[in-house]
Structure 1
Amino acid sequence: MKKIVVGLAVVLGFCTCAHQPSGTLDVNKALDYCAKQTQRTLTELKTDSGIDYTMMPRNIMADEQHWNCRKATKEEWCAGFWPGVLWYDYEYTKDKQVLEEAENFTHSLKFLSHIPAYDHDLGFLVFCSYGNGYRLTKNPAYKQVILDTADTLATLFNPIVGTILSWPREVEPRNWPHNTIMDNMINLEMLFWAAKNGGNPYLYDIAVSHADKTMKSQFRPDYTSYHVAVYDTITGNLIKGVTHQGYADSTMWARGQAWAIYGYTVVYRETKDPKYLDFAQKVTDVYLDRLPEDKVPYWDFDDPSIPNAPRDASAGAVVASALLELSTYLPNGTGKRYKDAAIEMLTSLSSDSYQSGESKPSFLLHSVGHWPNHSEIDASIIYADYYYIEALLRLKRLQEGYGVLG
């Protein structure tokens, strides 16, 4: 198995860099690069009949130069990231054309606020798009879409289990009566926001319950996470922890741990309960302790083919963004350590080893979507770009003396 994977790494050109981050990160230069790449993508999306605002950039494979787009449907969990990239780019550039395009792409997701929940990804879909849009424009129509979608997401909450059901479609074929994946932690932010912005206060309770049960059941004693927790719907007890996108049930899948770091940072922000701050540090430290020298993780920390396994820039970007926020909640010593780690991550991601440069209109190379499914391996993926530009904007705010959140 190991020899096969090593050979595949050579064939596909996986980044197996082992160097330390070098140079000084110029945040404005990195954001200018993102702005340039955003314009390249907008140009690429234009046809003779204009732009189809329902088609969202999703990925560019290693041997490709152009975006593969997917229709914005309830099944396409990544559809909110491209509108989110546009909102972040507008926040930096103040370019009115980018604003207009952000509005157009965001509008294509309004339907999600008035249909039944397909799965848990509504936070990714709507808060990355409409959430950033409302933050920057205060458009009341955007607020209503967020509130309505939060109510829809809440319909997947099972009070017996105490968490939000992630994948209704996997209940029967996999015999996963109530399944919750670590990615679901990111959707709690929309529930917290809705609860304090005119939505049902119960949404706050759902988010806290989900965070608590996940903290209790979805982590191993060393604070590494299971991708999926399977619960009994009668007792609410954990049946088992398994993986779906990681190397094995017992391994630390990089992006899953990244979601945990980001998610519990948000839960602390919204509750100010110190137990979440402590837990966020524990799930962070086990991640940081096992990083390679350039601070960009292998797709799974326990892949036996390391150091010839592919990296996952998307996980690196998620964690960099999370740590910049987490650093602001901690005393100088610990906070500085997390902030410095985030800067090292962004320095690597902003290097020629990870930026797409002239080769593609994406921001970053070397992400892994779904290794077990042989899908999006060593690709540019839109959510890597989203969290990369988010992290850069957060760092810029910190450097300018503002809070990490816009």
Structure 2
Amino acid sequence: MKKLHLLILFFIAMILPTELVHAQEKFSIERADACLQLAVEQIKVLADRSADGMLPKTFDKGKNFDSESGWWTSGFYPGTLLYLYEYSGEQSLLRMAKQKLLLLEKEKYNTTTHDLGFMLYCSFGNAMRITGDTAAYREILLKGAESLATRYSPITKAIRSWDFDNFPVIIDNMMNLEFLNSASRLSGDKRFADISVMHANTTMRNHYRRDYSCYHVVDYDPKTGNVIKKKTNQGAFDESAWARGQAWGLYGYTMMYRDTGDRKYLAFAKKIASYMLKHPNMPKDLITYWDYDAPDLPADSKYGKYADYRDASTASLTASALLELSTMVKGKLSRYYRETAEQILYNLSTDRYTAKHGTNGGFLLKHSVGSIPHNSEVDVPLTYADYYYVEALMRYKDYYHALK
């Protein structure tokens, strides 16, 4: 078995060159398979390094860090295991995922967080889709959706994100709407989808600037629904464009068009994509800085020393969203989105961003950023970066075969 693994890793090393993509180079189905096979082998390393009863979160200074099930990233590791089981058919990956799902199930009762989409839909949602076992996962998903729906206010017409300030809503919350849309289809209860649409519309109206960049946080008056303040929690400053927030929005509105068929969401997603991809601070390799405005910060500013830090998690999200968006438009724009996503995937798969097998604590991608303002998870691997990277690779394979 060890010889087989060595041969696999030798093949991967041969197909994944270290240089960044040039204009004439293309991502390929062979390269996607090599990336996914590396991910299969690497996640086994992560499994061996993670504590029993916990869920992998990050790796820093030679040490793995895990979380309990109530942390917002808890669903990404089992979700990645499930994607890689779907790819490889390896039963050991499904068994490992199911072990972690046992830890997560109690979060269906959690009404203290808006992140239940990340926690439950990326895990149990994938489990139901991939295994086809609706009976095993239906009740968990619907109870979780009910818990999420308790955070919706008909006054603000949005889902509350945090339980401090007045009624804060963060752009990240767009990612949890897919959970509600799915629950509506699963249960036949229109209420879930209605909440999703109302939240998406409120966010579209209040989170976005004229250039289609978005604020991280909008704080509402819970009694009137009026906006009190627009600010950031993880970006460089209130009026900056925190990079992952832009990607949450792109992914979220692309998904909303897929789930509702409402073309206003498609038009909005296209405008967000244009802002991101044409931004003057977008690096040539398309692996974004942690904040679109960070490269302009002076060296003596509060975050100046972090100005050029990249965020692979934003790039992974963006690639996955653009691949889906490419299927929703036609002609040159479709090709532009697809080829941009392919370039991102190519560059993420080079040694600059992809860890060698057995390193990086078992995580796949290097150079992600959690929150620079909080000096938390800076320039480290992150479980959600790996999740969306693997998702993007799986989408690439699906779309590649659909085009044939």
**Quick one: distance in 2 between partners of 1:107 and 1:402?**
38
Structure 1 residues 378-406: Cα deviation after superposition (integer angstroms, max 9, x where no partner):
00010000000000000011111279xxx
**Quick one: distance in 2 between partners of 1:87 and 1:353?**
26
- Gaps of at least 5 residues in structure 2 are 1-17, 298-303
Secondary structure, aligned partner of 1:144: helix
CA apart distance, 1:43:
2.6
TM, length-normalised to structure 1: 0.88
Structure 1 residues 304-330: Cα deviation after superposition (integer angstroms, max 9, x where no partner):
149952000000000100110011000
- What is aligned with 2:148? 153
**Quick one: distance in 2 between partners of 1:263 and 1:58?**
23
1:250-399 equivalences in 2 (<5 Å) = 250-290=239-279, 291-303=282-294, 304=297, 305=304, 309-358=308-357, 359-360=359-360, 361-399=362-400
**Quick one: distance in 1 between partners of 2:373 and 2:283?**
22
Deviation larger for 304-313 or 217-226: 304-313
Letter in 2 for 1:354: Y
Secondary structure, aligned partner of 2:372: coil
The answer as to whether partners of 1:18 and 1:292 remain within 8 angstroms in 2 is: no
CA apart distance, 1:237:
1.6
Structure 1 vs Structure 2: percent identity of aligned residues?
A: 39
**Quick one: distance in 1 between partners of 2:240 and 2:307?**
17
The answer as to whether partners of 2:149 and 2:192 remain within 8 angstroms in 1 is: yes
1:111-130 equivalences in 2 (<5 Å) = 111-113=106-108, 115-130=109-124
TM, length-normalised to structure 2: 0.88
- Gaps of at least 5 residues in structure 1 are 1-16, 46-50, 171-175
- What is aligned with 1:14? none
Q: Does 1:166 align with 2:161?
A: yes
Letter in 2 for 1:69: D
Q: Flag the 1:182–1:385 CA change in 2: closer, same or farther, 3 A.
A: same
**Quick one: distance in 2 between partners of 1:134 and 1:21?**
40
The answer as to whether partners of 2:26 and 2:342 remain within 8 angstroms in 1 is: no
Letter in 2 for 1:369: G
The answer as to whether partners of 1:230 and 1:240 remain within 8 angstroms in 2 is: yes
Q: Flag the 1:366–1:265 CA change in 2: closer, same or farther, 3 A.
A: same
- What is aligned with 1:135? 129
* Equivalent in 36, 43, 48 of residue 38 of structure 1: 43
Secondary structure, aligned partner of 2:379: coil
The answer as to whether partners of 1:20 and 1:293 remain within 8 angstroms in 2 is: no
- What is aligned with 1:201? 190
Misfit runs of 4+, over 4 Å: 17-23, 305-308
- What is aligned with 1:235? 224
CA apart distance, 1:133:
0.2
CA apart distance, 1:141:
2.1
Secondary structure, aligned partner of 1:241: strand
Secondary structure, aligned partner of 2:371: coil
**Quick one: distance in 1 between partners of 2:275 and 2:174?**
18
- What is aligned with 1:83? 78
The answer as to whether partners of 2:175 and 2:252 remain within 8 angstroms in 1 is: yes
Letter in 1 for 2:121: F
Letter in 2 for 1:186: M
Letter in 1 for 2:232: T
Secondary structure, aligned partner of 1:316: helix
Deviation larger for 140-149 or 291-300: 140-149
Letter in 1 for 2:111: A
- What is aligned with 2:213? 224
**Quick one: distance in 2 between partners of 1:149 and 1:319?**
27
Aligned residues: 370
